[in-house]
Amino acid sequence: MHLPSAIAALVEGSDVERVDIGESTARVFRITTPDRGLLFLKHAPRDAELSAEAARLRWLSGRAQVPDVVAFTIENDEEYLLMTGLPGLNGVSAARQGPESVCRAMAHALKQLHAQDASRCPFDQTVDAQIARARRRTHAGLVDESDFDRERLGRSASELLVELEAKRPADESRALTHGDACLPNVIVDGERFSGFIDCGRAGIADPYQDLALAARSIEGNLGSRWSDIFFREYGISDPDLGKLAFYRLLDEFF
């Protein structure tokens, strides 16, 4: 793979391995360097918006446990994001060894993130902003209808957009959120939360943006009883089913 000179100079002489987990449109590589430790490189066309992830990682630095941006560059309409690695395994792999500890770690990590001061966060992920983006993506034909959840397969993005607007929650809290808090995007080292990855949708949103996708990922990978542990550890005894459904529907557009 060709690399821009600014990136190539940082990883010269390194061992490179392709990483296939997750649903990102970017190509991801694990890079073991002789002098910089473990790095990860994301490479994608410019419209994949790795620049948005780089900006969020820089803003989140010191506010949340996330990778550091080593370098970001654009060349020939291709984006390259080089980041530090985090110790441990992604939540899916870690859960094979200890599902309960992963659910607990994820719950505590999200609760801590949501408690951060988000008053100066420049990234708007509120319902109004996300519905507007969903509308633009639908009209531009950018929504992957083949990747809908099982219960929505066969329907069109236009149909789901009508449903999305009709099911807008009556109230919306505001917090600093990850935006795509599924198990592959959480890194766990033993029983300890190590950090969040794939932060391109981070910003101000209702905490249910994270809770809905986290619980769905836990249920899909581990079974429904584990989401009860997740909610209990987070501090919710009676989750808002309407909000869970709305934010899972919203996720179909991204």
Spacing of C-alpha 95 from chain mean position = 18
* Rg over CA atoms, the chain: 18
Res 104 pLDDT > 80: yes
Q: What is the DSSP string of 188-231?
A: EETTEEEEE---TT-EEE-THHHHHHHHHHHHHHH-HHHHHHHH
Res 23 pLDDT > 70: no
Can you give the pLDDT at residue 46?
82
Distances (CA, A) of 134 to 71, 188, 233: 30, 32, 32
Domain ranges of the chain: 5-84, 89-251
**In CATH, what is the architecture of 89-251?**
Alpha-Beta Complex (3.90)
User: What confidence tier does 24 reach under pLDDT thresholds 50, 70, 90?
Assistant: low
Can you give the pLDDT at residue 141?
96
Active-site positions read 180
Q: Which fold has domain 5-84?
A: Phosphorylase Kinase; domain 1 (3.30.200)
Domains 5-84 and 89-251 are alike in CATH topology: no
Looking at residues 225-244, what average pLDDT do you find? Answer: 97
Can you give the pLDDT at residue 26?
84
Average pLDDT, the chain: 94
Instruction: Please state, for a pLDDT cut of 70, what percent of the chain lies above it.
Output: 98
User: What confidence tier does 48 reach under pLDDT thresholds 50, 70, 90?
Assistant: confident
Looking at residues 226-236, what average pLDDT do you find? Answer: 97
The dihedrals phi and psi of 62, each to the nearest 5 degrees, come to 90, -15
Can you give the pLDDT at residue 12?
86
pTM of the model: 0.93
User: What confidence tier does 22 reach under pLDDT thresholds 50, 70, 90?
Assistant: low
Looking at residues 153-157, what average pLDDT do you find? Answer: 97
Among the listed residues 100, 110, 108, the one whose alpha carbon sits nearest the alpha carbon of residue 229? 100
User: What confidence tier does 181 reach under pLDDT thresholds 50, 70, 90?
Assistant: very high
